[in-house]
Amino acid sequence: MSADTNHSFWVPQLAGKTDLIPNRVNNMWIDPHQTGVYVGQCAQYCGTQHVKMLLRVVVESREDFDKWLANEKQAAVQAASAAEGRHVFESTACKLSFSIGAGHCGIRERWTKPNTLGGDVAPPYRAKSAGDAVQGQSVYASYCSSCHGTGGSGGPKAGSVIDKSYLSLISDQGLRTLVITGRPDFNAPDWRNNVAGHPMSDQEITDVVAWLASQRPNGPSSSSSSAATSPGGAE
């Protein structure tokens, strides 16, 4: 199954083409008779990165496969250099933005459940217009300040959203995505549940992203009538 576009799984020496269509489950059966590495290619144009969709199928003997599988089940051994890098990651702004996969895992877990929207229509992934940072400050006060504090520097339930390092690392689209989906791993609500009974509109989301973007170092001033950024677009 594909998430968002058509693909075609094709390894010519092993089997014919099998299409992958969004929101539909398809199956295929491969019965190789010789060990080796077989090369394939996505046979359906699927977007600008289509040319990079090369495939490799590794066929091993049952004995070699069982050895590989047993090794994969062993606990990972972390080198001293990796441990030092993890410490740097966890003690600097990196953790604010990436949280070692927890955020993405939580978001996937929430939004892959059946009937998650319950009939609601989610805001568009990308903003339809430029945001107004001044209006965004008012939107923030209405929907976000009860958790993140009056000025965004941290409140009773959540940390700062105007940390300069954090805002330097995350794009406007990243901010918009988090406002829409929330952060289940931090118990942060999605766009519908910041204020009970009052889901955020598409424009309100766009405006609050513009206000957050205006807090970046050397970013546009929040006093301008319209933020000089395009939330969801290229910066």
* 41 Cβ neighbours under 8 A, 6+ residues apart: 10, 53, 54, 55
Q: Is the pLDDT of residue 112 over 70?
A: no
Rounded CA separation 217/215 (Å) = 7
The full set of domains in the chain, from first to last, is 7-62 (no CATH), 84-111+126-214 (1.10.760.10)
- Please say whether the beta carbons of 10 and 43 come within 8 A: yes
Average pLDDT on 85-94 reads: 61
pLDDT digits (tens, 9 = 90+) for 141-183: 999 988 898 888 888 888 888 888 788 878 888 889 889 888 7
- Please say whether the beta carbons of 167 and 213 come within 8 A: yes
pTM metric for this prediction: 0.48
In angstroms, the Cα distances linking 202 to 10, 75, 125, 199, 218 are: 40, 45, 10, 10, 26
- Please say whether the beta carbons of 218 and 112 come within 8 A: no
